[in-house]
Amino acid sequence: MIVTVSPFIRNALLLDAVASGATALLAIAGAPFLSPLLELPAPLLFWAGVVLVPFVALLVATARRKTVRRMVLIDIIAINALWVAASFGLLFSSLVSPNALGIAFICVQAIAVALFAELQFIGMRRATALAV
Q: What angle do CA 26, 58, 110 make, to 5 degrees?
A: 50
Which helix (H) or strand (E) segment holds residue 75: the answer is helix 70-92
What digits encode the pLDDT tens for the residues 46-88? 999 999 999 999 999 999 999 999 999 999 999 999 999 999 9
Asked if 31 and 46 count as a contact pair (C-beta separation under 8 A), the reply is yes
pTM summary value: 0.93
Give the model's pLDDT for residue 9.
Answer: 97
The closest alpha carbon to 109, from 84, 75, 82, belongs to: 84
Q: How many CB atoms are located within 10 Å of the residue 38 CB?
A: 21
Q: Map residue 39 onto helix, strand or coil.
A: coil
Q: How confident is the model at residue 131 (pLDDT cuts 50, 70, 90)?
A: low
What digits encode the pLDDT tens for the residues 91-130? 999 999 999 999 999 999 999 999 999 999 999 999 877 6
Domain borders along the chain are 2-131
What digits encode the pLDDT tens for the residues 12-49? 999 999 999 999 999 999 999 999 999 999 999 999 99
Helix and strand element counts for the chain (H, E): 4, 2
Ramachandran assignment for 39, one of left (phi > 0), alpha (psi -120 to 50 degrees), beta (any other): left
